[in-house]
Structure formats: structure tokens, C-alpha cells
Amino acid sequence: MNDEIKQYEVLIFDWDGTLMDSRADIVGCLKKAITACDLELPSDLRMASMIGLGLKEAFVQLFPDETSVSIDRLCDAYRTAFTHPEAKASALFPRVRETLNALKQNYILTVATGKSRRGLDHVLELSRLGEYFPITRTADETRSKPHPQMLHEIITDLDTTADKCLMIGDTDYDLNMATNARMDAVAVTCGMHEELRLEQANPLGMLTGVQMLPAWLAGRR
């Protein structure tokens, strides 16, 4: 990506690992699903590295030799664990709500996530963040990251262009999706992928969290 100073109109956020500190809870749900399907548990690190992909794509990566029927069983077991009545929403990262309040004054805020529609709606309701995001896209509605389809659909819905949008995410799936859409991207280092892996995807900036985004944007005007 070139480093030309741009005035963005749309900010597109990943969810898990970017706005919500959900690594432990997602890995916990993966463990429950895998155990329920009588499969051998991968390491926590391996499971966490899949977060950001669509659910089916993540299980295919974890269990490439399993049949499509087995993958579907894993997905169903995960959804059951994730939406169990006793399950609670993971905590937002520090100052996320305050940051979104500040950003919505000048930008359209959207979400592009590897979650399913059911999963995203669930956490939007529990976190009470739904009002901030007039447009959202999920992996089961489009295609899993790093394919750019969900970004293309957001661009179309808002009648804008890729150069007016900025992707914010914590994985190279997010950053590579933005590259594939010819869109700028910023990485946050509070989530799933380590800094070296993020750097290799060439983001415009590396932030410790979304609370740093307003200052970063102001510095590029």
C-alpha cells in the first residue's frame, strides 16, 4: 500500500481481538466443540491462530482430513457452546466504547468479521454496540477472510470507494483482505496474531489497540 495521506470516510473494524478481548472464550468454545465430536484437541495457540477465519474455514484448517459432515458437526457444536444461556459476552478492550463515540462524529463505522451472522448479532446485543455500526458483514453471508468480498459489499452498500475506507484488524487475515480489496489497513497488536506476522502484511500503522486510532487518524490529516 502506498503511504499517501488520505482522508477516510469509513472505518471497517474486525470484531474478535480488535474490539472484543474474546480469545480465551473462543478457544474455550472450540475445545468444547472438538471434545463433543471426539476429536483430538490442537494446542491453544493453534486454535487461537484460526480466529478471524469463518468458522467452517477454521475447522477445515484445524482438521483437514475430516469429512464435510464432520466439519458441519463441529460447527454446530461450536454454535451451541457459544450461544449457551450461561455463556457471557467477552469483555471489550479498554476504552472501546469511548473511542467509538469519538470516531462516529467524523466517520461511518462498520464491521467485517469472521463470525457468523448469528454470532455477531449475539455479541452486538450483549455488548450493546449495535447502534454504532449501521453496516456489518459476516463470513457466512459472504466469503471468509482474506477474500475481499465482505469489504466489496460494504463499499457498495455505502456507495463509496476503497480509497475512502480503512480496515482495522488484529490478524493478517484482516490485513490481507484489505490488500485484496486495494484498501488501506491498520493493525492492532492486542489480539490474535503476533506483531511479526502482522508486520509481514504491511499495514500502514501498528497500534496497541483501537483506543490509539483517533490520534493516529488525526496525525495523518
Residues serving a catalytic function are: 14, 16
Dihedral of alpha carbons 48, 29, 54, 171, sign? negative
* Contact of 158 with 135, CB cutoff 8 Å: yes
Phi-psi region for residue 52, left (φ > 0), alpha (ψ -120 to 50) or beta?
left
Find the helix packing angle between 117-127 and 68-82, rounded to 10°.
10
Residues 180-203, buried b or exposed e (16+ Cβ, 10 A)? ebebbbbbbbbbbbeeeebeebeb
